[in-house]
């Protein structure tokens, strides 16, 4: 049932895992509810003893762990614990190797929020590092170095006014238990994105967020600031990749959110395995894993997560989260369907690990990309990115051209923001907009200046070719 086509984006390379199977699992779940205990296997092949359909030896999770049954999108009825675990790790490993996400010379930073997804990402990265270390110790020539791993938590207590001390202690325990090899744990408050003293930082951050009146806009801005904070840690500590625990379910929500917010043009940029528009490339090795699977792994392996301070999502994002939850309950494969559908959009050129010199690991990743038919994108990099959300912008909007040449700051800010941020985040009134701009961290405004200069150049070039009013016959 595995999808043998090299272009399949769903990661269903494993013989026993295929998204399409979920429909059948649904029927299995129903059959089970009706009282027939010895669940049948896929495709109508009877499996009267509750045995794992992969190894056909061990009992299924549903039989051995009745307490976690119902999670994992029906996997508990098909697999034993070992096969389920190796399937999930297999999906992670495949995403990592086929996209060249982690190479021996890398130093990766795992973003850890305390939630289930990032907990699994951390666990899997650790297991990969642990295996690499064992191979290194066993090899005679010790030619392949072992990649380094660090962990980062962005403390948002200034923004969300909660007390995160206990959560941080718990996370510290989790990180220190994942050794050897030892991992450095960075706990950094969001306001670290400013390079002023610590009280001024907090004030600036509060003022910035208070300037945004829309609930959804505020939440989206906070996500952006979190990324800036992570990027700063990576840059200051020599990390070469940033690993996020973003899973299929989260991406499915993002697809619908972006659709509602009118971010169709830039959507393809956000949902790929690799996002290298940031200084430290961001990678999503759990892109093919469902949140229910990750939750089930955490239950089975007693992986502790720290959910105490996980905020419920609000505004449009909150509505879509509950909508996707309903879809999932009705049919667990819906989330994968949404992501696969959006996966048809053409990615941007920065959605792959950038080429660095004549690195062997890069050649290896190129070979793998060829093997799995992941076409490198030949399109040109976008001219500019949104000041706020860093999404690629379509060609500059000409309506503000006159104001641009008059040098109005508010008009200039609008020009370097995407239409979604213009509507959802930027204050409408010019003076509040300028205040908002003045409270943005330098790392954002510096980029905006570059963008503006690029656009100015482009406009000058266009201007030279334009017909004057009298020439165009109107």
Degrees to nearest 5, angle at CA 67 with 62 and 68: 65
CB 77 within 8 A of CB 60: yes
List the one residue out of 319, 310, 321, 307 whose CA is nearest residue 252. 321
Measured from the CB atom, the residue of 83 and 286 that comes closer to Zn ion is 83
Size of the site for Zn ion (CB under 5 A): 11
Nearest residue (CB) to Zn ion, 52 versus 316: 52
E strand or H helix that includes residue 148: strand 148-155
When asked if residue 83 is in the footprint of Zn ion (CB under 5 A), the reply is: yes
**Considering only 9-17, 169-177, 229-237, 411-419, which stretch makes contact with Zn ion by CB under 5 A?**
411-419
Binder of Zn ion out of 421, 426, 440, 452 (CB under 5 A): 421
Which residue pairs from 362-366 have beta carbons closer than 8 angstroms and sit at least 24 positions apart in sequence?
A: 362/100, 362/103, 364/100, 364/103, 365/97, 365/99, 365/100, 365/103, 366/100
Beta carbon of residue 440, minimum distance to Zn ion (angstroms, whole number): 13
Count Cβ neighbours within 10 Å for each residue of 149-158 and write b for 16 or more, e otherwise: bbbbbbbbeb
Q: Which is nearer to Zn ion, 252 or 417 (CB)?
A: 417
Nearer to Zn ion, 338 or 389 (CB): 389
Q: Does 14 bind Zn ion (CB under 5 A)?
A: no
Q: Is residue 218 within the footprint of Zn ion (CB under 5 A)?
A: no
Stretch that binds Zn ion, among 92-100, 134-142, 281-289, 379-387 (CB under 5 A): 379-387
b/e per residue, 58-88, with b = 16+ CB within 10 A?
Answer: bebbbbbbeebbebbbbbbbbbbbebbbbbb
How far CA 150 is from CA of 104, 183, 216, 294, 298, in Å, comes to 15, 5, 31, 21, 21
In the bound state with Zn ion, the residue whose beta carbon lies nearer, of 203 and 434, is 434
Q: Is 54 in the site for Zn ion (CB under 5 A)?
A: yes
Binding of residue 389 to Zn ion (CB under 5 A): yes
Among 154, 276, 386, 416, indicate the residue that binds Zn ion (CB under 5 A).
386
Q: Rank residues 80 and 95 by Cβ distance to Zn ion and give the closer one.
A: 80
Q: Does residue 58 interact with Zn ion by CB under 5 A?
A: yes
Per CB under 5 A, the list member of 2, 37, 48, 55 interacting with Zn ion is 55
* Site residues, Zn ion (CB under 5 A): 52, 54-55, 58, 80, 83, 386, 388-389, 418, 421
């Amino acid at each position: 049932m595995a999808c043998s086509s090299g272009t399949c984006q769903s990661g269903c390379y494993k013989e026993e895992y295929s998204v399409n199977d979920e429909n059948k699992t649904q029927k299995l779940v129903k059959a089970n509810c009706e009282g027939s205990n010895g669940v049948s296997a896929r495709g109508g092949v009877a499996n009267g003893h509750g045995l794992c359909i992969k190894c056909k030896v061990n009992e299924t999770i549903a039989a051995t762990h009745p307490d976690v049954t119902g999670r994992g999108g029906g996997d508990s009825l098909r697999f034993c614990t070992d096969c389920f675990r190796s399937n999930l790790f297999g999906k992670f490993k495949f995403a990592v190797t086929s996209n060249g996400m982690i190479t021996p010379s890398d130093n990766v930073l795992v973003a850890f929020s305390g939630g289930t997804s990032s907990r699994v990402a951390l666990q899997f990265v650790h297991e990969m590092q642990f295996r690499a270390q064992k191979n290194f110790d066993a090899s005679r020539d010790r030619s392949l170095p072992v990649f380094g791993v660090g962990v980062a938590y962005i403390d948002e207590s200034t923004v969300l006014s909660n007390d995160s001390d206990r959560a941080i202690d718990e996370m510290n325990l989790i990180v220190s238990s994942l050794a050897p090899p030892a991992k450095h744990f960075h706990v950094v408050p969001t306001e670290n994105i400013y390079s002023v003293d610590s009280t001024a930082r907090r004030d600036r951050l509060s003022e910035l967020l208070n300037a945004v009146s829309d609930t959804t806009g505020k939440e989206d801005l906070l996500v952006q600031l979190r990324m800036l904070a992570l990027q700063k840690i990576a840059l200051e500590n020599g990390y070469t990749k940033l690993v996020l625990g973003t899973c299929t379910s989260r991406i499915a929500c993002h697809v619908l959110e972006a659709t509602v917010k009118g971010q169709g043009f830039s959507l393809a940029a956000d949902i790929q395995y690799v996002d290298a528009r940031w200084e430290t490339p961001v990678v999503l090795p759990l892109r093919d894993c469902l949140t229910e699977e990750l939750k089930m792994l955490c239950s089975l392996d007693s992986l502790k997560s720290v959910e105490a301070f996980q905020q419920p999502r609000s505004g449009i994002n909150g509505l879509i989260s509950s909508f996707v939850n309903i879809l999932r309950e009705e049919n667990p494969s819906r989330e994968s369907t949404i992501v696969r559908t959006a996966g048809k959009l053409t990615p941007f050129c920065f959605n792959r690990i950038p080429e660095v010199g004549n690195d062997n690991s890069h050649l290896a990743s190129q070979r793998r990309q060829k093997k799995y038919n992941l076409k490198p994108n030949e399109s040109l990099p976008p001219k500019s990115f949104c000041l706020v959300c860093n999404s690629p912008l379509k060609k500059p909007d000409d309506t503000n051209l006159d104001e641009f040449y008059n040098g109005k700051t508010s008009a200039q800010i609008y020009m370097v923001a995407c239409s979604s941020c213009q509507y959802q985040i930027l204050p409408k009134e010019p003076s509040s907009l300028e205040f908002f701009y003045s409270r943005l961290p330098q790392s954002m405004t510096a980029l905006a200046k570059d963008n503006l200069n690029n656009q100015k150049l482009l406009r000058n070039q266009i201007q030279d070719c334009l017909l004057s009013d009298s020439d165009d016959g109107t």
